Amino acid sequence: MRWDERQLALLREIGVRLWLTPDAVVTGAPVAQATAPAHVTPTAPTGPTLAAPPEAPTAQPERADSVASMDWPALREAAAGCTACALCEGRHEPVFGVGNPRAHWMIVGEAPGDAEDAQGEPFVGKAGQLLDNMLQAIGLTRGKAAPAQQVYIAHAVKCRPPGNRIPSAAELARCEAYLIRQVQLVQPRIILALGRFAPQLLGSTEPGGKLRGRVHDYHGVPVIVSYGPAHLLRNPEDKARAWDDLCLAAQTLESALPQ
Protein backbone atom coordinates (compact mmCIF):
# COMPACT_ATOMS: atom_id res chain seq x y z
CA MET A 1 0.00 0.00 0.00
CA ARG A 2 1.15 3.56 -0.68
CA TRP A 3 0.81 6.34 1.87
CA ASP A 4 0.73 10.10 1.42
CA GLU A 5 2.72 12.51 3.57
CA ARG A 6 -0.29 13.67 5.57
CA GLN A 7 -1.21 10.12 6.50
CA LEU A 8 2.37 9.44 7.56
CA ALA A 9 2.42 12.61 9.68
CA LEU A 10 -0.82 11.53 11.35
CA LEU A 11 0.57 8.10 12.07
CA ARG A 12 3.74 9.58 13.55
CA GLU A 13 1.58 11.78 15.80
CA ILE A 14 -0.45 8.76 16.87
CA GLY A 15 2.77 6.87 17.60
CA VAL A 16 2.52 4.26 14.83
CA ARG A 17 5.73 3.72 12.89
CA LEU A 18 5.54 2.16 9.43
CA TRP A 19 8.51 0.45 7.82
CA LEU A 20 8.27 1.71 4.27
CA THR A 21 10.30 1.52 1.09
CA PRO A 22 10.72 4.93 -0.66
CA ASP A 23 8.21 4.08 -3.43
CA ALA A 24 5.52 3.47 -0.79
CA VAL A 25 5.25 7.23 -0.12
CA VAL A 26 3.09 9.34 -2.42
CA THR A 27 4.03 13.04 -2.48
CA GLY A 28 1.17 15.49 -2.35
CA ALA A 29 -1.62 12.93 -2.72
CA PRO A 30 -4.92 13.63 -0.96
CA VAL A 31 -6.00 11.55 2.01
CA ALA A 32 -8.30 8.86 0.72
CA GLN A 33 -10.03 5.92 2.26
CA ALA A 34 -7.45 3.21 2.88
CA THR A 35 -8.03 0.02 0.99
CA ALA A 36 -5.40 -2.45 2.11
CA PRO A 37 -3.29 -3.22 5.15
CA ALA A 38 0.02 -1.49 5.79
CA HIS A 39 3.11 -3.35 6.81
CA VAL A 40 3.80 -2.17 10.30
CA THR A 41 5.92 -3.37 13.14
CA PRO A 42 5.63 -7.13 13.59
CA THR A 43 2.45 -8.23 15.22
CA ALA A 44 1.10 -11.42 16.61
CA PRO A 45 -2.51 -12.49 16.64
CA THR A 46 -2.30 -12.57 20.38
CA GLY A 47 -1.80 -9.67 22.74
CA PRO A 48 -2.73 -8.65 26.24
CA THR A 49 -6.02 -10.09 27.31
CA LEU A 50 -8.91 -7.88 26.20
CA ALA A 51 -11.69 -9.47 28.15
CA ALA A 52 -12.74 -11.16 31.32
CA PRO A 53 -14.28 -14.64 30.98
CA PRO A 54 -17.89 -14.48 29.88
CA GLU A 55 -20.71 -15.05 32.32
CA ALA A 56 -24.07 -16.54 31.49
CA PRO A 57 -26.16 -13.79 29.82
CA THR A 58 -29.66 -12.88 30.92
CA ALA A 59 -31.93 -12.91 27.89
CA GLN A 60 -34.93 -10.58 27.56
CA PRO A 61 -36.77 -11.86 24.51
CA GLU A 62 -39.91 -9.71 24.91
CA ARG A 63 -38.01 -6.44 25.23
CA ALA A 64 -35.70 -7.42 22.38
CA ASP A 65 -38.75 -8.10 20.19
CA SER A 66 -40.18 -4.63 20.73
CA VAL A 67 -36.81 -2.91 20.19
CA ALA A 68 -36.26 -4.92 17.00
CA SER A 69 -38.99 -3.02 15.13
CA MET A 70 -38.12 0.52 16.30
CA ASP A 71 -37.03 3.34 14.01
CA TRP A 72 -34.24 5.75 15.03
CA PRO A 73 -36.36 8.20 17.09
CA ALA A 74 -38.17 5.40 18.93
CA LEU A 75 -34.92 3.57 19.59
CA ARG A 76 -33.21 6.68 20.96
CA GLU A 77 -36.21 7.44 23.15
CA ALA A 78 -36.35 3.87 24.46
CA ALA A 79 -32.66 3.93 25.40
CA ALA A 80 -33.03 7.35 27.04
CA GLY A 81 -35.69 6.03 29.39
CA CYS A 82 -34.33 2.51 29.81
CA THR A 83 -34.20 1.00 33.28
CA ALA A 84 -33.64 -2.60 32.19
CA CYS A 85 -30.50 -3.04 34.26
CA ALA A 86 -28.95 -1.53 37.36
CA LEU A 87 -26.57 0.64 35.34
CA CYS A 88 -29.42 3.11 34.88
CA GLU A 89 -29.06 4.09 38.55
CA GLY A 90 -25.63 5.69 38.24
CA ARG A 91 -25.81 7.20 34.79
CA HIS A 92 -26.12 10.86 33.89
CA GLU A 93 -27.62 9.87 30.55
CA PRO A 94 -27.35 6.85 28.23
CA VAL A 95 -24.72 7.31 25.52
CA PHE A 96 -26.70 6.26 22.48
CA GLY A 97 -24.40 6.79 19.49
CA VAL A 98 -23.22 9.37 16.95
CA GLY A 99 -22.36 9.53 13.28
CA ASN A 100 -23.80 8.75 9.90
CA PRO A 101 -26.91 6.55 10.24
CA ARG A 102 -25.93 4.78 7.00
CA ALA A 103 -22.18 4.64 7.63
CA HIS A 104 -20.15 1.92 5.97
CA TRP A 105 -18.00 1.69 9.12
CA MET A 106 -19.44 1.13 12.58
CA ILE A 107 -17.20 1.48 15.62
CA VAL A 108 -18.47 -0.33 18.72
CA GLY A 109 -16.93 0.43 22.08
CA GLU A 110 -17.52 -1.22 25.41
CA ALA A 111 -19.40 1.23 27.61
CA PRO A 112 -19.27 4.93 28.46
CA GLY A 113 -16.73 6.30 30.91
CA ASP A 114 -17.20 9.35 33.14
CA ALA A 115 -16.56 11.98 30.47
CA GLU A 116 -18.77 10.22 27.94
CA ASP A 117 -21.53 9.91 30.52
CA ALA A 118 -21.28 13.66 31.15
CA GLN A 119 -21.15 14.64 27.46
CA GLY A 120 -23.49 12.01 26.05
CA GLU A 121 -21.05 11.06 23.28
CA PRO A 122 -18.91 7.93 22.87
CA PHE A 123 -15.11 8.19 22.85
CA VAL A 124 -14.40 11.74 24.01
CA GLY A 125 -11.30 13.23 25.68
CA LYS A 126 -7.82 11.92 24.94
CA ALA A 127 -9.05 8.44 24.04
CA GLY A 128 -11.54 9.91 21.60
CA GLN A 129 -8.85 12.11 20.09
CA LEU A 130 -6.61 9.10 19.54
CA LEU A 131 -9.46 7.19 17.92
CA ASP A 132 -10.29 10.19 15.71
CA ASN A 133 -6.64 10.47 14.61
CA MET A 134 -6.44 6.78 13.76
CA LEU A 135 -9.68 6.97 11.81
CA GLN A 136 -8.49 10.11 10.05
CA ALA A 137 -5.28 8.37 9.03
CA ILE A 138 -7.35 5.83 7.15
CA GLY A 139 -9.64 8.44 5.59
CA LEU A 140 -12.53 8.27 8.05
CA THR A 141 -14.15 10.80 10.35
CA ARG A 142 -16.88 11.12 12.93
CA GLY A 143 -17.62 14.60 11.53
CA LYS A 144 -20.13 15.24 8.79
CA ALA A 145 -19.26 13.27 5.64
CA ALA A 146 -20.62 10.77 3.15
CA PRO A 147 -21.45 7.24 4.43
CA ALA A 148 -18.17 5.86 3.05
CA GLN A 149 -16.14 8.32 5.15
CA GLN A 150 -18.26 9.16 8.21
CA VAL A 151 -18.37 6.39 10.79
CA TYR A 152 -21.18 5.55 13.19
CA ILE A 153 -19.98 5.08 16.77
CA ALA A 154 -21.87 3.37 19.56
CA HIS A 155 -21.13 1.47 22.73
CA ALA A 156 -22.31 -2.07 23.38
CA VAL A 157 -23.62 -0.92 26.76
CA LYS A 158 -25.25 2.49 26.81
CA CYS A 159 -24.92 3.43 30.50
CA ARG A 160 -21.71 3.99 32.45
CA PRO A 161 -20.66 1.08 34.69
CA PRO A 162 -19.54 2.33 38.12
CA GLY A 163 -15.79 2.84 38.40
CA ASN A 164 -15.42 2.24 34.65
CA ARG A 165 -15.48 -1.50 35.29
CA ILE A 166 -16.04 -3.91 32.42
CA PRO A 167 -19.77 -4.47 31.95
CA SER A 168 -20.96 -7.89 33.03
CA ALA A 169 -22.23 -10.40 30.49
CA ALA A 170 -25.72 -9.94 31.96
CA GLU A 171 -25.53 -6.15 31.41
CA LEU A 172 -24.27 -6.67 27.87
CA ALA A 173 -27.10 -9.09 27.18
CA ARG A 174 -29.72 -6.70 28.55
CA CYS A 175 -28.44 -3.82 26.46
CA GLU A 176 -27.67 -5.76 23.30
CA ALA A 177 -31.10 -5.30 21.72
CA TYR A 178 -30.24 -1.60 21.18
CA LEU A 179 -26.93 -2.42 19.53
CA ILE A 180 -28.47 -5.08 17.30
CA ARG A 181 -31.14 -2.63 16.19
CA GLN A 182 -28.49 0.06 15.55
CA VAL A 183 -26.60 -2.42 13.38
CA GLN A 184 -29.80 -3.30 11.51
CA LEU A 185 -30.59 0.37 10.87
CA VAL A 186 -27.07 1.46 9.93
CA GLN A 187 -26.35 -1.69 7.89
CA PRO A 188 -22.58 -1.16 8.15
CA ARG A 189 -20.23 -3.03 5.87
CA ILE A 190 -17.68 -3.51 8.64
CA ILE A 191 -17.71 -3.31 12.45
CA LEU A 192 -14.66 -2.53 14.56
CA ALA A 193 -15.19 -3.89 18.07
CA LEU A 194 -12.88 -2.00 20.42
CA GLY A 195 -12.32 -3.29 23.91
CA ARG A 196 -12.52 -6.05 26.43
CA PHE A 197 -16.16 -6.91 25.73
CA ALA A 198 -15.50 -8.47 22.30
CA PRO A 199 -15.63 -12.12 23.45
CA GLN A 200 -19.01 -11.59 25.09
CA LEU A 201 -20.33 -9.74 22.05
CA LEU A 202 -19.19 -12.49 19.71
CA GLY A 203 -20.20 -15.33 22.03
CA SER A 204 -16.61 -16.56 22.24
CA THR A 205 -14.80 -18.13 25.17
CA GLU A 206 -11.42 -17.05 23.75
CA PRO A 207 -9.65 -14.07 25.28
CA GLY A 208 -10.00 -10.88 23.25
CA GLY A 209 -6.35 -10.88 22.19
CA LYS A 210 -6.88 -14.19 20.41
CA LEU A 211 -9.83 -12.77 18.48
CA ARG A 212 -7.63 -10.17 16.79
CA GLY A 213 -6.26 -10.68 13.30
CA ARG A 214 -9.26 -12.47 11.78
CA VAL A 215 -12.74 -11.68 10.60
CA HIS A 216 -15.74 -12.52 12.82
CA ASP A 217 -19.45 -12.15 12.22
CA TYR A 218 -22.06 -10.17 14.12
CA HIS A 219 -25.57 -10.46 12.74
CA GLY A 220 -24.28 -10.82 9.22
CA VAL A 221 -21.70 -8.02 9.41
CA PRO A 222 -17.94 -8.73 9.38
CA VAL A 223 -16.26 -7.75 12.64
CA ILE A 224 -12.64 -6.95 13.41
CA VAL A 225 -11.61 -6.97 17.06
CA SER A 226 -9.07 -4.48 18.37
CA TYR A 227 -7.94 -2.54 21.44
CA GLY A 228 -9.95 0.33 22.83
CA PRO A 229 -8.24 3.74 22.58
CA ALA A 230 -8.06 4.07 26.38
CA HIS A 231 -6.03 0.84 26.43
CA LEU A 232 -3.76 2.25 23.72
CA LEU A 233 -3.10 5.37 25.80
CA ARG A 234 -1.99 3.14 28.67
CA ASN A 235 -0.14 0.68 26.42
CA PRO A 236 1.32 2.61 23.46
CA GLU A 237 3.28 -0.47 22.39
CA ASP A 238 -0.05 -1.89 21.15
CA LYS A 239 -0.70 1.00 18.75
CA ALA A 240 0.98 -0.79 15.84
CA ARG A 241 -1.24 -3.83 16.43
CA ALA A 242 -4.31 -1.58 16.53
CA TRP A 243 -3.21 -0.02 13.25
CA ASP A 244 -2.91 -3.52 11.75
CA ASP A 245 -6.47 -4.20 12.91
CA LEU A 246 -7.71 -1.01 11.27
CA CYS A 247 -5.99 -1.93 8.02
CA LEU A 248 -7.45 -5.45 8.17
CA ALA A 249 -10.89 -3.89 8.54
CA ALA A 250 -10.27 -1.67 5.49
CA GLN A 251 -9.07 -4.67 3.50
CA THR A 252 -12.08 -6.74 4.57
CA LEU A 253 -14.47 -4.00 3.53
CA GLU A 254 -12.76 -3.54 0.19
CA SER A 255 -12.71 -7.24 -0.60
CA ALA A 256 -16.49 -7.37 -0.01
CA LEU A 257 -17.17 -4.59 -2.55
CA PRO A 258 -18.34 -5.60 -6.04
CA GLN A 259 -15.31 -5.63 -8.39
Shortest distance (Å) from residue 209 CB to ligand SF4: 25
Of 206, 205, 194, the closest CA to residue 233 belongs to 194
Beta bridge partners of residue 105, listed in sequence order: 190
Other residues' Cβ atoms within 10 Å of the Cβ of residue 170:
16
Shortest distance (Å) from residue 167 CB to ligand SF4: 7
Chosen residue from 10, 135, 153, 159 binding ligand SF4 by CB under 6 A? 159
Rg (CA), the chain: 18
76 CB burial (10 A radius; 0-12, 13-18, 19+): middle
Chosen residue from 134, 138, 157, 202 binding ligand SF4 by CB under 6 A? 157
Q: Which is nearer to ligand SF4, 11 or 84 (CB)?
A: 84
Cβ(174)–Cβ(60) under 8 Å?
A: yes
Beta bridge partners of residue 44, listed in sequence order: none
Shortest distance (Å) from residue 83 CB to ligand SF4: 6
Side chain identity, residue 219: H
Q: Which is nearer to ligand SF4, 9 or 74 (CB)?
A: 74
Considering only residues 40-99, where is the footprint of ligand SF4 by CB under 6 A? Answer: 79, 82-85, 87-88, 94
Shortest distance (Å) from residue 172 CB to ligand SF4: 9
Longest CA span, the chain: 59
Q: Which is nearer to ligand SF4, 174 or 181 (CB)?
A: 174
Q: How many residues bind ligand SF4 (CB under 6 A)?
A: 14
Those residues whose C-beta lies under 8 Å from the C-beta of residue 221, and which sit 6 or more positions away, are 106, 183, 188, 189, 190, 191
Chosen residue from 95, 113, 131, 174 binding ligand SF4 by CB under 6 A? 174
Chosen residue from 107, 108, 175, 232 binding ligand SF4 by CB under 6 A? 175
Q: Which residues bind ligand SF4 (CB under 6 A)?
A: 79, 82-85, 87-88, 94, 157-159, 171, 174-175
